[in-house]
């Protein structure tokens, strides 16, 4: 951790740029990601005025250039332009505070050297992301033309993304759409429902435990109509049904540690049009750890996904 004491009033990003040999754009991104604190309070605004005598803290920056990391990836589809992988839980998508060299981005440049020139140099080929502890399908561009194409279909919402999520309790509506804007919470690395960007999540209850039982659970099929950070986790918590195993949102964090060691969220289905205009649909089975917990609570789901 780096600590600096301000001696004059200055913008936060300019102050840090004067102290460390890192591009201002990268500093601004780090601030917006919630990596920087002033007198112990996380500040996410690069324009924030730092006053004399205040302490500014941030993690040390690694090299600007990604290093290679050799780890096998489960590739479920690949052509000359793109690939779709089945990301395991625990794999961080791109470098950030605390993990600079063992991420999906580092693996990609090891296996596909030319991908370094595709998109953001710190997120080569990556057009969307999954949280570290979320497993499932991710599509990655191998060429610049594929990168632009995928960015466009994500922006136009012409790609279908569906998840399996296990939540606490049984939603009153077995099918519903949560239409609540999501914004960054100002004082920590969380998101919140409130004034922010449009966010729409559609869910259907596939199966649930016996109503009125001591521990009620519902397995949901969730479709994203937008792609906000932590969207499913924030929205389900907002309607009183947080994800099982989610250690950031909801009120069951301590109890969930004895159940599963990550949030019960899996990106199981992708459907989109390839660059030659043919459609592709891919399904990822539920991972063993999540399936084992469903078995423990007496839930089966396979016949619900036809």
User: How many domains, in total, are found in the chain?
Assistant: 3
Residue range of the domain that includes 229: 160-305
Residue 66 resides in a domain: no
pLDDT in tens, 8-67: 889 998 899 888 877 777 788 788 888 899 998 989 888 899 999 999 988 776 556 788
Q: Which residue is it, tokens 């986790």?
A: 233
- Whether residues 96 and 173 fall in one domain: no
DSSP code for 305: G
d(CA 167, CA 95): 29
- Whether residues 99 and 207 fall in one domain: no
Q: Which of 13, 35, 86, 131 is catalytic?
A: 131
3-state DSSP assignment of residue 155? helix
Contacts of 293 (CB under 8 A, 6+ apart): 166, 244, 259, 260, 264
- Whether residues 89 and 32 fall in one domain: no
pLDDT at position 264: 97
pLDDT in tens, 200-217: 999 999 999 988 788 899
- Whether residues 195 and 301 fall in one domain: yes
d(CA 302, CA 288): 14
pLDDT-based confidence at residue 302 (cuts at 50, 70, 90): low
- Whether residues 89 and 6 fall in one domain: no
- Whether residues 189 and 169 fall in one domain: yes
303 pLDDT more than 60? no
DSSP code for 197: B
pLDDT at position 306: 43
Residue 165 resides in a domain: yes
pLDDT-based confidence at residue 273 (cuts at 50, 70, 90): very high
Whether 131 sits among the annotated catalytic residues: the reply is yes
């Amino acid at each position: 951790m780096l600590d600096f004491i301000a001696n004059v009033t200055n913008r936060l990003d300019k102050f840090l740029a004067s102290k460390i040999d890192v591009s201002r754009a990268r500093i601004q991104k780090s601030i917006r990601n919630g990596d920087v604190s002033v007198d112990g309070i996380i500040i996410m605004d690069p324009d924030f005025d730092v006053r004399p005598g205040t302490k500014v803290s941030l993690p040390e920056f690694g090299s600007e250039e990604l290093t290679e990391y050799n780890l096998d990836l489960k590739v479920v589809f690949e052509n000359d332009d793109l690939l779709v992988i089945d990301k395991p839980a625990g794999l961080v998508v791109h470098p950030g505070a605390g993990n600079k060299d063992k991420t999906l981005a580092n693996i990609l440049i090891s296996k596909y050297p030319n991908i370094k020139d595709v998109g953001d140099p710190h997120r080569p080929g990556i057009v969307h992301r999954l949280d570290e502890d979320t497993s499932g399908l991710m599509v990655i561009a191998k060429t610049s033309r594929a990168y632009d194409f995928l960015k466009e279909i994500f922006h136009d919402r012409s790609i279908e993304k569906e998840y399996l999520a296990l939540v606490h309790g049984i939603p009153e509506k077995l099918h519903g759409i949560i239409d609540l804007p999501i914004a960054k919470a100002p004082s920590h690395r969380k998101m919140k429902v409130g004034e922010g960007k449009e966010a729409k999540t559609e869910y259907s209850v596939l199966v649930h435990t016996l109503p009125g039982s001591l521990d009620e659970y519902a397995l949901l099929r969730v479709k994203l109509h937008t792609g906000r950070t932590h969207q499913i986790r924030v929205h389900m918590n907002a309607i009183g049904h947080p994800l099982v195993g989610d250690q950031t949102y909801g009120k069951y964090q301590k109890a969930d540690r004895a159940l599963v060691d990550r949030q019960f969220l899996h990106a199981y289905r992708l459907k989109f049009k390839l660059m030659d205009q043919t459609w592709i649909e891919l399904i990822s089975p539920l991972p063993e750890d999540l399936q084992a917990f469903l078995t423990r609570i007496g839930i089966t789901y396979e016949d619900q996904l036809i």
